[in-house]
Structure 1
Amino acid sequence: MLDQISELVKQFGGDAIVRNPSVPNEHNEAVMNETGNSILLGLQNMVAQGNVNDIAGLLNGGNIDASNPVVKQLTEQLSGNLGQKFGLSSNAASDVAGNMIPNVLGSLIGKANDPNQPGFNVSDIVNSIGGGSGLMDAITKYGGQFGLDQNRDGKVDINDATAAVSGKSGGFLSGILSKLFGK
């Protein structure tokens, strides 16, 4: 996932970073790397802190602007990192972060929700920000208690999520996941 985010950072980094006189040229590549890392680590930290609803709203196509809590938190984090690590002024760091975060997240979510975009999908995002299996472990552990075992095989796994999203199983989870993933 970091590779996909890094590609998007490069795509949007021309004006916000490379051609920005507030960012010294010798720091351009490092600022872009920091931006990609901050996005991925920031999303992972939000999941670890339990901000799953905010991230689900973002993945569902919520507003990807400064009013979005995920965008706000990531922008503040990146801005602080850029100031601390590269000596950018508060205004310059805020401008870079305020430009990059919404653009990169918007493109990432748009591509992940587009079935014609190979290499980008929502499940990869969820796996990457869920810290590997931690998020799925929690779903598996408690999912049966909440009726998430769609195929009634005694475990909650990707097959249950696929059945729910495709609507083949019906029920509560299908409705939630269908709304979440726009199916």
Structure 2
Amino acid sequence: MFEQLSQLVQQYGGDAVVKNNAVPNEQNEDVMKEASSSIFSGLKKIAAEGGTEQLAGLFQGKSIDSSNPVVKQLTEQLTGSLGQKFGLSSETSSGVAASMIPQVLSALVNKAKDPNDSSFQISDIISAISGNSGQASSIMDTISKYGMQFGLDQNGDGKVDLGDASALASSKGGIGGLLGKLFGK
């Protein structure tokens, strides 16, 4: 997961870092590595602190902009880190973080929601950031709760689980239909 996240940072870091005259060219690569590390560790921290509702909301693609609490927290973390480790001004650090974080998270969520893109799977992302099955289960339960609101309980048992995924997989929409319904596509 970290490697895929790093690729997204490289993809979206061009304007925010490479083309940014306030970031010395010799620091471009290190700044992008720090961004990847900061996003990953920030997501893990949110999971560890019980931010399941925030993460579930993020993976539903709800307002992945500066108003999103996950975006805010990750932006603050990266801003501080860039200033501390690379001596960048607070304005430059804040600009880099505010530009990259929403783009990278939007791309991450969109790839995870895309049934034709197997490079990111929601379950893999949740497992990577949660670190233990209790947290992963809690996050998936929250996503399941939201799934109930979107009518994904295919077998009418009051929960969204593998039975519903199987029912959808054998139906016209398949797993792509399940993920599409869950994430609003």
Instruction: Normalising by structure 2, report the TM-score.
Output: 0.78
Q: What is the percentage of aligned positions where both structures have the same residue?
A: 53
User: Could you tell me which residue of structure 1 aligns to residue 147 of structure 2?
Assistant: none
Partner Cα distance (2:136, 2:101) in 1: 26
Post-superposition CA distance 1:141-175 (Å, at most 9, x none): xx8xxxx9xxxxxxxxxxxxxxxx97454333229
User: Could you tell me which residue of structure 2 aligns to residue 54 of structure 1?
Assistant: 54
Post-superposition CA distance 1:102-139 (Å, at most 9, x none): 00000000000001112111111111111143424668
| Aligned: 1:90 with 2:76 | no
| Aligned: 1:174 with 2:160 | yes
Partner Cα distance (2:96, 2:136) in 1: 34
For structure 1, the residue ranges without an aligned partner over 5 or more in a row are: 149-164
Q: Is the 8 A contact 2:8 2:108 kept in 1?
A: yes
User: Could you tell me which residue of structure 2 aligns to residue 40 of structure 1?
Assistant: 40
Q: Is the 8 A contact 1:79 1:97 kept in 2?
A: yes
| Alpha-carbon RMSD | 2.7
Aligned-pair CA distance for 1:15: 0.8
Partner Cα distance (1:74, 1:137) in 2: 23
User: Could you tell me which residue of structure 2 aligns to residue 31 of structure 1?
Assistant: 31
Post-superposition CA distance 1:12-52 (Å, at most 9, x none): 11111011111111111111011011111101100110111
Q: Is the 8 A contact 2:52 2:138 kept in 1?
A: no
For structure 2, the residue ranges without an aligned partner over 5 or more in a row are: 145-150, 166-177
SS of the aligned residue for 2:5 comes to: helix
Query: Residues 102 and 138 (structure 1 numbering): CA distance in 2 closer, same or farther, change over 3 Å?
Result: closer
Alignment coverage as a number of residue pairs? 161
User: Could you tell me which residue of structure 2 aligns to residue 19 of structure 1?
Assistant: 19
Instruction: Normalising by structure 1, report the TM-score.
Output: 0.79
SS of the aligned residue for 2:17 comes to: helix
Query: Residues 66 and 126 (structure 1 numbering): CA distance in 2 closer, same or farther, change over 3 Å?
Result: same
Partner Cα distance (1:17, 1:110) in 2: 23
Partner Cα distance (1:84, 1:180) in 2: 40
| Aligned: 1:77 with 2:77 | yes
Query: Residues 52 and 93 (structure 1 numbering): CA distance in 2 closer, same or farther, change over 3 Å?
Result: same
